[in-house]
Amino acid sequence: MQCHKTLALVASNPFEQTTMNGHVLSFLNYIQYERNYSSRTVEAYSDDLEYFEDFVTRMTGSFDPLQPDLNIVRGWMAEMGKRHQAASSIKRRICCLRSFYRYLRRQGLINTNPLTLLPSPKVPRTLPVWISEDQMDYLIDDIDYGQDFEGVRDHLLIDMLYSTGMRRSEAAGLKDRDVDLESHQLKVRGKGNKERLIPIGPELETLIAEYRDRRDAEVGTETEYFFTDIDGRPLTPIRVYNLAHKYLVNLPQLSRKGAHVLRHSFATNMLAEGADLMAVKELLGHASLQSTEVYTHLTPKDIIENYKQAHPRAK
């Protein structure tokens, strides 16, 4: 029997007037309040499940998640393909649906998860966009950020994103108390609210101290968050993205100019200098080593050096 309830995950979320199946609602509450998924992830999962419910209703006349049909799911995948949706989007939606049915099984509401038999679409693997060490030195040391509060903050933000490999959401959510100059490290809360410690070097510590002095003098000392605007409001993830983009335009050769490019550069340049793969994994906060291995690609310089050393006609 179909059951609908009003979804009210948090007061500020966009689902306040949305109605959906009760089992879907329970699942969304579970991933937000028990698994500590971000509100952005919960919203994406809600959209995916609403799309699936709409498709099933159109095909069968009703939606009952306790009666899963693998053929219906295959039909949903086919429809997404006909709509020319990206393979990555289809894969994400199937992963969402698989998690939903895994939840229903753990709750004892269904006996098996049929989606375990459904292969996810293959997504072409692309190399991450990254910035070489020389270009990063130019971006951090030679760009004129200005000497006002925003310039000092932006200079630190760019350096910190590169020096720590933080995600933009992690930089936005960084608390002032978690930046500890005495222990030379900062505490980051990543996906699933998991905490990790990242060491910081003396140059970054100097920028941190300078920024704190300016922030406390011009914004005040009441702020809980580390990065703020001049009015005291904490930076949002999209604000971090826009600030990173503002300065990455100084490197026109980049095909992408978001904050994540600095995270890619952190990992790539560390591995190029001989860092241990497992150590980089922990610093990035990756759940699996496979996510980190994408950064083990060879740079053009590495390829040339390998060619010169190994090819008999190049000696």
Q: Provide the pLDDT for residue 128.
A: 82
- What integer is the mean pLDDT of 63-72? 91
User: Left if phi > 0, otherwise alpha if psi is -120 to 50, otherwise beta: which for 21?
Assistant: beta
Query: In which order are the strands placed within the sheet that holds 195-199?
Result: 179-180, 185-189, 195-199
Q: Provide the pLDDT for residue 170.
A: 95
Whether 177 is a known active-site residue: answer: no
Tell whether the model's pLDDT for residue 40 goes beyond 50.
yes
Does 298 or 279 have the greater pLDDT score?
Answer: 279
Q: Which of 121-125, 182-186, 249-253, 265-269 has the lowest mean pLDDT?
A: 121-125
pLDDT band per the 50, 70, 90 thresholds, residue 60: very high
At 244-289, the pLDDT tens digits run: 999 999 999 998 899 999 999 999 888 888 888 899 999 999 888 8
DSSP 6: E
Q: Which of 45, 101, 247, 295 is catalytic?
A: 295
Q: Provide the pLDDT for residue 164.
A: 95
Q: Which of 91, 239, 260, 297 is catalytic?
A: 260
* 112 residue type, one letter: T
Whether 106 is a known active-site residue: answer: no
Angle at the Cα of 300 from the Cα atoms of 294 and 301, rounded to 5 degrees: 115
Are 265 and 280 in contact by the 8 Å Cβ rule? The answer is no
What number of other Cβ atoms are within 10 A of residue 185's Cβ? 16
Does 125 or 285 have the greater pLDDT score?
Answer: 285
Whether 260 is a known active-site residue: answer: yes
Q: How far apart are the first and last CA of the chain?
A: 75
CA distance 12 to 247: 31
The fraction of the chain above a pLDDT of 70, given in percent, is 86
Whether 295 is a known active-site residue: answer: yes
Does 229 or 6 have the greater pLDDT score?
Answer: 229
Q: Which of 92, 175, 187, 191 is catalytic?
A: 191
Tell whether the model's pLDDT for residue 314 goes beyond 60.
no
Whether 153 is a known active-site residue: answer: no
- What integer is the mean pLDDT of 42-63? 93
Q: Provide the pLDDT for residue 311.
A: 55
* Domains of the chain: residue spans and CATH: 4-117 (1.10.150.130), 133-305 (1.10.443.10)
Whether 74 is a known active-site residue: answer: no
Q: Provide the pLDDT for residue 124.
A: 67
Q: Which of 155, 168, 263, 264 is catalytic?
A: 263
At 140-170, the pLDDT tens digits run: 999 999 999 999 999 999 999 999 999 999 9
User: Left if phi > 0, otherwise alpha if psi is -120 to 50, otherwise beta: which for 30?
Assistant: alpha
Q: Which of 155, 167, 215, 281 is catalytic?
A: 167
